[in-house]
Chain A
Amino acid sequence: MTKLLYYPGCTLKADAQHFEESAMCALKELGFELQELERWNCCGTVFSLATDNTMFHLAPLRNLLRTREEGGDKLFTLCSMCYNTLKRANKLFNEDPEKNDKVRKAMYEEAIAYDGKTQTLHLLSLLRDEVGFDTLKNKIGKGLNGIKLAPYYGCMLLRPDGLGVDNMEHPRVFEDLIRAMGAEAADFPFRAECCGSYQTAQQPEIVAERTRLIIGSARKCGADAVAVSCPLCAFNLDQRQAIAARLHSDFELMPVLYITECLCLALGIEFKEPWKAFHYAPVDAVIRKMEKKA
């Protein structure tokens, strides 16, 4: 068992508990144990784009510091937004001497000084670079053969350029993972089109419209379900289907699954009953189909 220091972030302890649980189950099967950071705080969810908002970077950096305190140099995340915020904050810390100085001064009460050496590791990178898709494929075998999944990257896994898990305009990692699970990856043009993100709090109708387009695109590609790795994308693409359906009588619901839920099914791990309650669009049918395959 390889231990991974793990940063859950706020939503995985609330609305995305099934993301965390399914990840733990699947990774255990692959020889990884998630060891939650003893002390962690909210990363702030979004990376501040203003150059003069240095204080906003303290929250993510503190989590990176905790990792060092606990003797780690890698911090594993599941949530795309946490991944983005932690990684960008660290880059800023290492590459902007002025910000580095300010942040250090602000963290004077910490037991040790942060050295900028915590790497943020996302689930997709772990599976690609450390497990390897060939190994995964061999382990899974036929897996989800006959299932077509639409890989939804969203924004924060890919942008800005050079910080994401893969080529920004032409990513492959999600598709490769889906294929390693034995499933077919839909050639899904909306895979990196924003779901509307935080606008869901203020402008749910606009987000529902995005959801309709993205889900519609996945449907046109013949996908059985959309696979995601961000709790905000998941909420917008799944829960906001309610509004989309209300506004458009012809809108058909489509299941939205975390990639880890799919991975569990591919590995032959039982899809736990309580997970279903977190979903809006019914998942029973697709899960039955996937279970049968795996």
Chain B
Amino acid sequence: MKGSPIKKIGVLICHCGKNIAGTLDIPELIRGAAALPDVAFAGDYKYMCSQPGQELLKEKIKEFGLNSVVVAACTPNLHEPTFRKAAAEAGLNPYCVEMANIREQCAWVHQNNGHSATEKALQIIAMMVKKVAQNSPLFEASIPIVKRALIIGGGIAGMQAALDIADAGYEAILVEREPSIGGHMAQLSETFPTLDCAQCILTPKMVSIGSHPRIRLLAYSEVRGLEGYVGNFKVKIERKSSGVDWDKCTGCGICMEKCPTKVPGEFDRGLGKRKAIYTPFPQAVPNKPVIDKANCLYYKKGVCRICEKNCEARAINFQQEPQIIEEDVGAIVVATGYDLYSTENLGEYGAGEIPDVIDSLAFERLLSASGPTSGEVRRPSDGKIPKSVVFIHCAGSRDPEKHKPYCSRICCMYSTKQALLYKHAVHGGQPYLFYIDIRSGGKNYEEFVERAQSEGVIYTRGKVGRVYQEGDKVIVQGVDTLLGKPMKIEADMVVLAMAMQPQLTTPELRRILKITTDIHGFWTEAHPKMNPLGTTTRGIYLAGCGQAPRDIPDTVSQASGAAGKVIGLFSQNELPLDPMTVYVEEDLCAGCGLCVAACSYEARSLDPQKRIVLVNAALCQGCGACMIACPNGATIHKNFSRKQILNMVDVLT
């Protein structure tokens, strides 16, 4: 071994309670491991990751003078850092520690076949022993950090993250696609289970964002490009053309008052009207209007210009071009939020064509004091006050066959809230809920459901089969599965608790950010349990419903968590880099550039003078794609050389 010092390898086998020991024969594994070449010690412990387990590791390193260690336990994704840290505390270079995964890749998948599984586990251990024998000690380099964060999405998640980061003393850039921040929470009436008014708790936060000295709010803007790496991102942001010079605009609102064009407003889910020059709602932050070019008479026909004539600040600028700005940031929080699955997808519930069958956000607008009916519940078709309203849970959720397989998590609670608020608003009105299961896990949530039930909201266990119009009634054909009876309700109105889905722009942003989503388009966290705030790219964190459906308290908590991650990152002056990367053996490199194309992280470039490839260690993720691409074997992965890999394969042959 190239005259390297004599290898003294320790093998420590974890029982993981019964997870491993329940299937594999541990004493047999110890015997087998001890007999492997270069192994100086083989032992076991019930939970290697526990404090005593780690102490055992340190003890054995010292006792036997180990210079390499294999921990045979779970996936390295989970505890590799744990054991590397423990080894470092005992004076061993952490990169001389490897994990043999005998849990996920062996014990769990061969539960009924202990004998063969033990043989396989021993081979896995032997492979890692072979590998670790040729590991070199590695040392971390470090890079500087730009202490400014980018937050994508100005809903409650993005707002909370921006405020926490800014309050901790760092700069935050908050990018919002819509003309105002506030997100879906601004549309809500009152919030469960406390029934406090959404606007009352949200608008003060919106104002704080608008006036915070360390928050730069870029509303009506979208992220168009991203380069760089943790601590050193370069982001391109488009400030969309609003037709209004916001620097001049005083927010007086005269333009909106005078504009002659009225169209259904998105904020009111089409139930109310807005002008062609508009702010989404009166409490908008920033309180500056944008022109809807699809509907504005000037943009459509070149006439009108009434807003321009009435603007004393001379802020209307029909010729305004979109503007691309570039910013350096050190970390990113992705808080892109959700949208509702469209009612058009549910043909059996009227396919969105029955006027009095609306989605739950539209009903929020009918309940909201600032909504199109000023908080009076009036149905869209004829403005009458509905005397009976049916709320249908799981409209598109929990339906793997046709729609979304997942539970949208908040519908049980908001439908309960909406039913209760409706009952309070309409004297003698009867709400009916059709549910499959009531999911009220959350602080004071079950108590809230109990309150609604005791106030006379009728809960019917069963799903609705069909909804159709008959005269001025909406007929709901359901079932009471507890009674085993079909059930028909002649309702005045129906509210569909539509499934939540990620914003439809997510795929485009995914392409820009190069982070992953699941099959439904929700952002994928780095680890579902151990790193739910991180992504596969260091320095990019997640908050809010873009990751999965969740309610306001959970969203705010998660956003603060993501902000905490950013603040933690910014509290360091330099960032240690993972040394598990590749290097180029200059003598062997022919400068063909195949590896440059193979690299997904833009970590490679061709030095035109020397005709060799350079590696940016800060960008390199150590994936090894370049190593495969290189025809000369010039690219070598530190501690994952071809030789090591072949040695591992040899164990199996």
Contacts and interface: CB of A to CB of B under 8 A. Distances in A.
B347 A220 contact: no
Given A217-B470, A220-B470, A189 B351 contact: no
Interface in A69-109: none
A168 B346 CA distance: 11
Interface string A141-170: 000000000000000000000000001111
A167 B475 contact: no
A189 B471 contact: no
Contacts of B470: 189, 217, 220
A189 B347 contact: no
A216 B56 CA distance: 81
A122 B284 CA distance: 56
Interface in A168-202: 168-170, 187, 189
Contacts of B468: 189
A167 B346 CA distance: 11
B347 A170 contact: yes
A167 B347 contact: yes
B360 interface: no
Contacts of B469: 187, 189
A168 B468 CA distance: 15
A168 B348 CA distance: 9
Contact of A168 (B347, B471, B475): B347
Nearest to A190: B468
A147 B469 CA distance: 21
Main secondary structure of the interface of A (DSSP, over half): loop
A169 B475 contact: no
B351 A170 contact: yes
Contacts of A187: 469
Interface in A44-89: none
A176 to B, nearest CB: 15
Contacts of B348: 169
Interface string B343-364: 0001110010000000000000
Q: Which of A169, A217, A220 has the most CB of B within 10 A?
A: A169
B464 to A, nearest CB: 13
A30 B459 CA distance: 55
A169 B471 contact: no
A169 B475 CA distance: 16
A220 B422 CA distance: 30
Nearest to A170: B347
Contacts of B466: 189
Contacts of B346: 169
Interface in B439-487: 466, 468-471, 475
Nearest to A169: B347
A168 B469 CA distance: 18
Nearest to A191: B468
A220 B471 contact: yes
A41 B346 CA distance: 39
A169 B349 CA distance: 9
A277 B469 CA distance: 35
Contacts of A168: 347
Contacts of A167: 347
A167 B348 CA distance: 11
Contacts of A170: 347, 351
Contacts of A169: 346-348, 351
A189 B351 CA distance: 12
A165 to B, nearest CB: 15
Contacts of A217: 470
Interface in B3-50: none
Contacts of A189: 466, 468-470, 475
Max chain B CB contacts within 10 Å: which of A170, A187, A217? A170
Interface in B346-398: 346-348, 351
A170 B351 CA distance: 7
A89 B351 CA distance: 31
Contacts of B471: 220
A220 B475 CA distance: 13
A172 to B, nearest CB: 10
Interface string B575-604: 000000000000000000000000000000
Nearest to B351: A170
A220 B468 CA distance: 13
A217 B470 CA distance: 8
B392 to A, nearest CB: 15
A189 B466 CA distance: 10
Interface in B475-518: 475
Interface of A: 167-170, 187, 189, 217, 220
The 6 residue pairs across chains A and B that have the minimum distance between CB atoms:
A169-B347, A189-B468, A170-B347, A170-B351, A169-B348, A220-B470
12 contacts: A167-B347, A168-B347, A169-B348, A169-B351, A170-B347, A170-B351, A189-B466, A189-B469, A189-B470, A189-B475, A217-B470, A220-B470
